Structure 1
């Protein structure tokens, strides 16, 4: 008698987006390192072993092995997401403990009504409860990233992206408390309100740094995420994201721009970094 092979239960994330762009443009955006940086990671390239490397200022690194590459049809990567050695305070409340495990991401393309439909399947997430936070965060993340891909291809195709990115760790505040402070008059909403916003509605925020953002809301999900177009930055994207993963809680500010100078974007990043570091004062 032989022992039965134990296969842990897993769950998948599946979603799709319709993009008004040629299939070859969508394929290139998924598979070309330079194109990837225009909608997904901040940096992308190849490792010495040929695997694909995507990173966010070296805080998050995602190494992927390309398993299937059928042009304009099917792209599959097998990957492990890992964190660098930058660690937040260990006593943070509202945290989730997880360990990264290999997952696979499939991108399927098809033509439909003159547009390209991209279907994504991200598989291999453990069904154990301790993986709930990672699963939910990844699900929300793909929803945003596919919108970012569509926004890039339909509005800024072939244009490099400049990003203002600030990440801080929370040591004292819960996510709910941090969210309330973020959108207070002392931080991001010196003028303007975000209560009761709905996707498709308009917003306008005057921040305590003197910066101004306005556009159309994509996601309003307190205390986790606010994302919207930033029309006054050449129709860029603004995202505020609060996460609780891997023993930490953090706040992430992103302003994704196209056709805006690196100098101007860096200046915004500097002002936002100074502002967000006062969040728990």
Structure 2
């Protein structure tokens, strides 16, 4: 990656709605991250401590230098996040690429929230692990063909033992997002980074955002994915920031 990666997402929502989703804590909880005991503290740290904002210009500075800019794009809103260069926060440089990937996930979850689930509370399941010696995640999930389809294409797949249908939501270098009808029109974001010089153990991640599932259905989904995931992508010795739960 370059020293200042840029992530751009166009959201089919008015700019005022997107701005509120970035500045109101109750709304941020609908899309940022995933369910952890520390989610509220994380939201407060990123969006409401050491931040800069210009509400009129619709710009927001967070994470000690990351810049978010909203711009009208017809009836939609273009959201551009530009990372601060490496070295601005040296204590976080070891996680620089992970944070960039995290922003890709979060902005796509923001888009999903505003376009598909603006009023419904979500419940998430989260899985993270290492990839050394493991099969690539997309292939292991049977999504190799799905990952090549254009955004907006319909798909059907068996995911951790469950038949799931939906559409391709987004695709990036390391991530794939799929809507999931079976989860109350939910969203699956999966990421896979093979072992390399900067990340010898590699990394795999799945965020399942569900809507309207009762306790039993949510527990069954979470347990089934945990049983599928754990032997394939074991937890890292030192969890990445935000993945400890």
Per the shorter chain, which TM-score range? 0.7 to 0.9
* Aligned Cα root-mean-square deviation (Å): 3.4
Q: 1:252 to 1:260 in 2, by over 3 A?
A: same
Q: What residue number does 1:271 align with?
A: 224
Give the number of aligned pairs.
221
Query: Which of 114, 119, 124 is equivalent to 2:75?
Result: 114
- Please give the alpha-carbon distance, in whole angstroms, between the structure 2 residues aligned to 1:65 and 1:206: 42
Q: What residue number does 1:35 align with?
A: 27
Deviations 1:161-192 (A, max 9, x none): 1111122334x51xxx4216x634xxx34xxx
> What TM-score do you get using the length of structure 2 for normalisation?
0.73
Matched, 1:211 2:211: no
- Please give the alpha-carbon distance, in whole angstroms, between the structure 2 residues aligned to 1:280 and 1:22: 40
Q: Which ranges in structure 1 are unaligned for 5 or more consecutive residues? A: 1-9, 54-61, 80-102
Query: 1 or 2, which has the higher strand percentage?
Result: 1
Q: What residue number does 1:178 align with?
A: 135
Task: Give the CA deviation at 1:149.
Answer: 1.1
The answer to whether the Cα contact below 8 Å between 2:130 and 2:233 also exists between their aligned partners in 1 is no
Task: Give the CA deviation at 1:271.
Answer: 1.0
Q: What residue number does 1:257 align with?
A: 210
The answer to whether the Cα contact below 8 Å between 1:162 and 1:262 also exists between their aligned partners in 2 is no
Task: Give the CA deviation at 1:274.
Answer: 1.0
- Please give the alpha-carbon distance, in whole angstroms, between the structure 2 residues aligned to 1:240 and 1:45: 23
Q: 1:112 to 1:250 in 2, by over 3 A?
A: closer
Task: Give the CA deviation at 1:246.
Answer: 5.9
Deviations 1:232-255 (A, max 9, x none): 323211122224566643322221
Q: Which ranges in structure 2 are unaligned for 5 or more consecutive residues? A: 235-245
**Larger-gyration structure (1/2):** 1
Within 5 Å, give how 1:189-228 maps onto structure 2: 189=142, 193-195=143-145, 197-200=148-151, 201-207=153-159, 209-219=160-170, 224-228=174-178
Query: 1 or 2, which has the higher helix percentage?
Result: 2
